[in-house]
Amino acid sequence: MSTLSKDSLDSRKLIETLERLCLRIEDRFPAAGLLQAARNLLDVARETDQTIRWIERPNLPMRALSIAVIVLLLGGLAYSFGQLRLELQSLGLKGLVEFSEAALNELILLGAAIVFIVTFEARRKRQRVITAVNRLRAIAHVIDAHQLTKDPDGVTNVSTPTKHSPQRTMTAYELRRYLDYCSELQSLIGKIAFLYVQKFDDPIAADAVNSLETLTTGLSRKVWQKIMILRDVDRG
């Protein structure tokens, strides 16, 4: 088990925080859809703990196989050049040009094959990260959908409900707590996503995580605008 430095996120701590948050939501809103969304996030967080261990662990059999294949490719290329070198003296100018073109094509194909083999492990891990980030993004949108109809105007008597308005059953305090939970969940989504690239230096995976963090920050900002309205009402 790797030792985390003081400036690293600990997946176990995040899972514990999320477990407590699920219990807090259940205590106040046991029938709310937000609770199921929080539990889904907890399931993903637990899977994340296993996934990041898989990402951090080097795939030694894959690396050994890659080295063996590269050695075979280089050996085959060396043998081919050795055979062709014996024929160089009998080649004219035209034959020499054709030989050079063929050799260049072989080198390009060999280089592409080596790059594919060398990056195979990283690409597998990158795809795993992107798949996980997409799951987290979906949960972020679900959580945001739960707060869309939670309008502070409903508890501040600023607006009069119509027959098609969402049912208003929460007090100002309950609504503020509900929105607090939404904001906390969005924050945790961003932190869980960061775990994937904390020790995996891949620019494409990092871009996916940064995009999700930008999304959750924006969604959380909308929630906090509602919370500030409720706090202003309480102070008034």
CATH of the domain at 181: 1.20.1050
Are residues 217 and 170 located together in one domain of the fold? yes
Q: Is residue 139 part of a domain?
A: yes
Q: Is residue 3 part of a domain?
A: no
Are residues 76 and 152 located together in one domain of the fold? no
Last residue of a domain, one of 89, 118, 147: 118
Q: Are 130 and 208 in contact (CB under 8 A)?
A: yes
pLDDT at residue number 89 = 56
pLDDT at residue number 23 = 97
Last residue of a domain, one of 69, 93, 118: 118
pLDDT at residue number 1 = 41
Place of tokens 């891990």: 125
pLDDT at residue number 2 = 44
Q: Is residue 2 part of a domain?
A: no
CA distance 42 to 188: 10
Are residues 86 and 25 located together in one domain of the fold? no
CA distance 136 to 147: 17
pLDDT at residue number 169 = 72
Q: Are 37 and 143 in contact (CB under 8 A)?
A: yes
CA distance 4 to 12: 11
Q: Are 215 and 183 in contact (CB under 8 A)?
A: no
**pLDDT profile of the chain (236 residues), mean per 10:** 63 94 96 95 91 78 72 71 60 60 73 76 90 96 92 66 66 90 96 92 94 96 89 66
Are residues 84 and 195 located together in one domain of the fold? no
pLDDT at residue number 72 = 73
The percent helix, strand, coil of the chain (3-state, each to 5) is 80, 0, 20
Are residues 151 and 173 located together in one domain of the fold? yes
Are residues 137 and 228 located together in one domain of the fold? yes
Angle, vertex CA 30, rays to CA 181 and CA 38, nearest 5? 45
Q: Are 23 and 118 in contact (CB under 8 A)?
A: no
What lies within 8 Å, CB to CB, of 192 at 6+ separation is 11, 14, 41, 44, 45, 48, 136
Range of the domain at 106: 60-118
**Amino acid at the residue 38:** A
Q: Is residue 199 part of a domain?
A: yes
CA distance 193 to 209: 6
Q: How many domains does the chain have?
A: 2
Are residues 71 and 158 located together in one domain of the fold? no
